[in-house]
């Protein structure tokens, strides 16, 4: 606990009063004259409460923690994207915008009491020092990692480039723990982890996030594909992309549309901040048929790109309806190296629609926020006159339904048995083909691997059986049904043993990706997934059939 001295509180009170005066002067520049008294009054009340709590609360208080809680609660009442970023979290925030940080370069995950290496980044310290997926971190610089959270371990692994870090590692199928010592370095996670021709004439580019200079990475990938061969169609994959920098989304759209074309505009409370963003450079490609893939996790800048491409009829959108984040944030520097990220505007794509799904300014009585109902959505027109709607993300031109995930698959994921089998596979196989895909013999090996593993799960049928038994017992029917019930249940249990075979293709898909990542890292995981990807298959179908592609972009009479 932090002991608060009287002098400390006097100094804090003085600083807060100065802050109040500064804030009043600041807001006067925006002509909020009617708010002067209300703001000053409430800041004074807050200062008084803060001082009294620290002086007289029965237990010792932590002033910094109290203030952080107050700020967070205040900002949470506005929207999820307006955040206070203290100095201790600045590095994580910078990673989101730049894709860079100082560390070892690895994804980590918690399992029981320890944190494990989940996937090292290719070409960075963790991978170059020999760490592999499945390694358990026992100690960091001589300090036990037992019981540490992923956040704790992440902070310990991060640091200034060229500083040493020592890890004590326990590896499956290796008898004794061993020490690995290496230097941290500047980690720069690629915004474009993979691009390639997926079949003759059809190019594919995966964009992970909208970090600084990602538009240049997309441009370079596009130009390289054109050098490699004839490009008859391009798939831009924005699935799972949470967004990022607004200017990068404009630059990416600019690669495919005419110079001077409006891409997005922003409108906020302060009119001087309203802006229109146009394509400012000559495009790279105006003709190649384009498919943009999106899903429920495609947000913000991903929706600017996909929405602008749709509104301008430059390509077709395939997948699932996007997240619906049409709010723009700016960062403001605060004292003591902290920052405020706040929502300042909403963005509007070329047709004039805003795709923000939730209206945080009009909350329900319980504080919840509802989505814009379909009945209140407004129709807009694309460049060719196609009808599109606002009020909740980008609706794809072609929607691809996803198969339901079985409880068996969920259980195998939860128990990390796909991960563990890939670890076992890597231990027993020194190398695999770069185009690896699991075969039937390897699937049978996986079934053997599972023979002594626990992965209990209940199917919907089992739950129905339990409900039937429970209700029939309460209503005194079960005694007459018991024999038939048990016979039927035994037959079901026999069938359940075949669940692995029934889910064979899904299991092979998951394991192909997991195993490929052990040898070829993120590139391998993406490459292995493309073979099974239904949205990729659908996109390829449209790109190979020009008349089918054109029919989506044409208004039917």
| CA 346 – CA 363 distance, rounded (Å) | 18
Beta strands in 129-270 (DSSP E): 136-140, 143-144, 164-170, 178-183, 185-188, 194-199, 202-206, 233-237, 262-268
Catalytic-labelled residue, pool 135, 311, 397, 420: 311
Query: For residue 277, what are the contacts with CB-CB under 8 A and spacing of at least 6?
Result: 246, 247, 250, 262, 263, 264, 265, 266
Are 347 and 277 within 8 A, CB to CB? no
| CA 391 – CA 385 distance, rounded (Å) | 19
Phi, psi of 296, rounded to the nearest 5 degrees: -65, -20
Catalytic-labelled residue, pool 190, 325, 426, 508: 325
* CB neighbour burial string for 310-323, b if at least 16 within 10 angstroms, e if fewer: bbbbbbbbbbbbbb
User: What is the dihedral sign for C-alpha 219, 224, 227, 232?
Assistant: negative
Query: For residue 225, what are the contacts with CB-CB under 8 A and spacing of at least 6?
Result: 195, 196, 197, 203, 205, 231, 234
Residue 468 corresponds to which tokens in the numbers above?
Answer: 């039937």
Q: Would residue 311 show up in a list of annotated catalytic residues for this protein? A: yes
Burial class (CB in 10 A: 0-12, 13-18, 19+), 409: middle
- Best CA proximity match to 399, nearest among 318, 297, 305: 318
Catalytic-labelled residue, pool 118, 249, 300, 302: 300
| CA 103 – CA 100 distance, rounded (Å) | 9
| CA 453 – CA 407 distance, rounded (Å) | 16
User: What is the dihedral sign for C-alpha 401, 404, 410, 413?
Assistant: negative
Helix 440-450 and helix 504-530, axial crossing angle in degrees, nearest 10: 120
Radius of gyration of the chain (CA): 28
Q: Would residue 300 show up in a list of annotated catalytic residues for this protein? A: yes
DSSP per-residue string spanning 316-349:
EEEES------EEEEEEE-STT-EEEEEEEEEE-
Are 134 and 155 within 8 A, CB to CB? no
Task: Give me the residue label for tokens 């339990």.
Answer: 466
What is the number of residues in the chain? Answer: 557
| CA 253 – CA 263 distance, rounded (Å) | 7
Q: Would residue 325 show up in a list of annotated catalytic residues for this protein? A: yes
Active site residues: 300, 311, 325
């Amino acid at each position: 606990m932090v002991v608060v001295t009287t002098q400390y509180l006097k100094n804090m009170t003085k600083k807060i009063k100065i802050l109040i005066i500064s804030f009043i002067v600041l807001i006067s520049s925006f002509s909020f004259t009617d708010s002067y008294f209300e703001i000053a009054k409430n800041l004074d009340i807050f200062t008084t409460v803060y001082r009294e709590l620290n002086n007289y609360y029965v237990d010792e208080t932590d002033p910094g923690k109290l203030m952080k809680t107050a700020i967070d609660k205040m900002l949470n009442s506005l929207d999820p994207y307006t955040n206070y970023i203290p100095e201790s979290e600045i590095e994580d925030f910078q990673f989101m915008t730049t894709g860079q940080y100082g560390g070892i370069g690895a994804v980590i995950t918690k399992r029981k009491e320890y944190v494990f290496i989940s996937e090292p980044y290719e070409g960075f310290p963790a991978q170059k020092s020999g760490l592999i997926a499945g390694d358990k971190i026992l100690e960091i610089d001589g300090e036990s990692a037992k019981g540490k959270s992923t956040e704790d371990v992440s902070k310990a692994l991060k640091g200034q480039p060229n500083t040493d870090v020592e890890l004590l590692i326990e590896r499956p199928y290796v008898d004794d723990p061993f020490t690995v010592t290496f230097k941290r370095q500047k980690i720069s996670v690629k915004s474009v982890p993979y691009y390639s021709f997926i079949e003759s004439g059809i190019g594919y580019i995966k964009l992970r996030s909208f970090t600084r200079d990602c538009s240049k990475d997309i441009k370079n990938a596009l130009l390289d594909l054109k050098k490699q061969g004839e490009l008859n169609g391009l798939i831009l994959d924005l699935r799972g992309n949470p967004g990022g920098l607004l200017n990068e989304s404009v630059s990416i759209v600019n690669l495919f549309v005419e110079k001077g074309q409006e891409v997005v505009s922003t409108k906020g409370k302060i009119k001087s901040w309203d802006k229109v963003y146009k394509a400012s450079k000559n495009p790279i490609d105006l003709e190649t048929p384009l498919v943009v893939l999106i899903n429920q996790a495609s947000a913000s800048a991903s929706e600017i790109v996909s929405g602008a491409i749709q509104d301008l009829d430059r390509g077709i959108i395939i997948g699932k309806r996007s997240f619906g984040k049409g709010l723009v944030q700016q960062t403001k520097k605060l004292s003591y190296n902290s920052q405020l990220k706040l929502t300042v505007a909403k963005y509007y794509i070329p047709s004039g629609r805003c795709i923000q799904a939730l209206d945080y300014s009009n909350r329900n009585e319980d504080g919840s926020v509802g989505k814009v109902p379909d009945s209140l959505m407004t129709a807009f027109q694309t460049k060719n006159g196609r009808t599109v709607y606002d009020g909740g993300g980008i609706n794809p031109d072609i929607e691809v339904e996803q198969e339901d995930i079985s409880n068996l698959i969920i259980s195998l994921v939860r128990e990390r048995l796909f991960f563990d089998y890939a670890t076992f596979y890597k231990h027993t196989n020194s190398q695999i083909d770069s185009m690896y895909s699991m075969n039937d013999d390897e699937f049978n090996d996986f079934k053997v691997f599972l023979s002594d593993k626990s992965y209990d799960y209940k199917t919907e049928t089992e739950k129905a059986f339990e409900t039937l038994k429970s209700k029939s017992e309460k209503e005194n029917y079960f005694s007459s049904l018991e024999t038939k019930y048990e016979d039927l249940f035994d037959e079901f249990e026999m069938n359940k043993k075949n669940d692995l075979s029934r889910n064979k293709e899904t299991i092979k898909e998951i394991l192909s990706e997991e195993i490929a990542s052990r040898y070829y890292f993120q590139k391998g995981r993406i490459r292995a997934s493309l073979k099974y990807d239904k949205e990729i298959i659908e996109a390829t179908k449209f790109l190979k059939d020009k008349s089918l592609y054109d029919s989506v972009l044409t208004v039917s009479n």
